[in-house]
Amino acid sequence: MRDFYTKHLTATNLEIERKFLLKGDAWRICAHHCERLRQGYLNNETYCSVRVRTTDDRAWLNIKGVTIGVQRQEFEYEIPLEDGHEMLNTLSKKPIIEKVRYFVEAGQHLWEIDEFEGDNQGLIVAEIELKHPEEEFEKPDWIGEEVTHDVRYYNTSLSQHPYKNWDKKDEDGS
């Protein structure tokens, strides 16, 4: 089985990622795998975010720079699953981010589509990781508005200001 969690980082541990909202549910027929994720944040993001993430059978510790945009530093380390659960339950800020991640291949790229649950239920976001910031990619018909530069859609922001608390002007960017 393909390891869907292999990060595509550059040699300098840079994550290059773009984030989009979706138009409709047509992507669902293309999704060939999904995992339930829980993640929580362990720090107060002054210089970086430190999070722990678990699936049904694996866990990771992840450190990301706070740079907003397409490119930022990222370091990720697999940790024992039991440690991941303990960190989420005892050390993470609440609410915990809960989501189902679907994987959809389009062209030469793998899209990760996060359907949020819990306090962020109703939000669905697609992400694509690239090898360099100007890399071209196929944009499927179900891809909508790009929100890469909108911090409200970052998981760190969603853990502090959940989607359920947004009002209409938040969604419009007003």
Say whether 119 sits in a helix, a strand or coil: helix
Please say whether the beta carbons of 40 and 87 come within 8 A.
yes
Q: Is 80 exceeded by the pLDDT of residue 6?
A: no
Rg of the chain (C-alpha set) = 16
Q: Is 41 assigned a catalytic role?
A: yes
pTM across the whole model: 0.86
Q: Cα–Cα distance between 12 and 113 in angstroms, integer?
A: 26
Q: Which domains, and CATH codes, for the chain?
A: 14-171 (2.40.320.10)
59-113 pLDDT tens trace: 999 999 887 778 888 999 999 999 999 999 999 999 999 999 999 999 999 999 9
- Give mean pLDDT, residues 41-59: 90
Q: Cα–Cα distance between 53 and 60 in angstroms, integer?
A: 5
Q: Does residue 80 have a cis bond before it (omega within 30 degrees)?
A: no
Which of 5, 41, 153, 154 is catalytic? The answer is 41
Confidence of residue 168 (pLDDT cuts 50, 70, 90): low
Q: Cα–Cα distance between 83 and 78 in angstroms, integer?
A: 10
What per-residue confidence (pLDDT) applies to 172?
52
DSSP state letters, 81-100: HHHHHHHHHHTS-SSPEEEE
- Burial of residue 9 (CB within 10 Å: 0-12, 13-18, 19+) is middle
113-130 pLDDT tens trace: 999 999 999 999 999 999
Confidence of residue 169 (pLDDT cuts 50, 70, 90): low
Tokens of 166: 């947004």
Confidence of residue 19 (pLDDT cuts 50, 70, 90): very high
Confidence of residue 2 (pLDDT cuts 50, 70, 90): very low
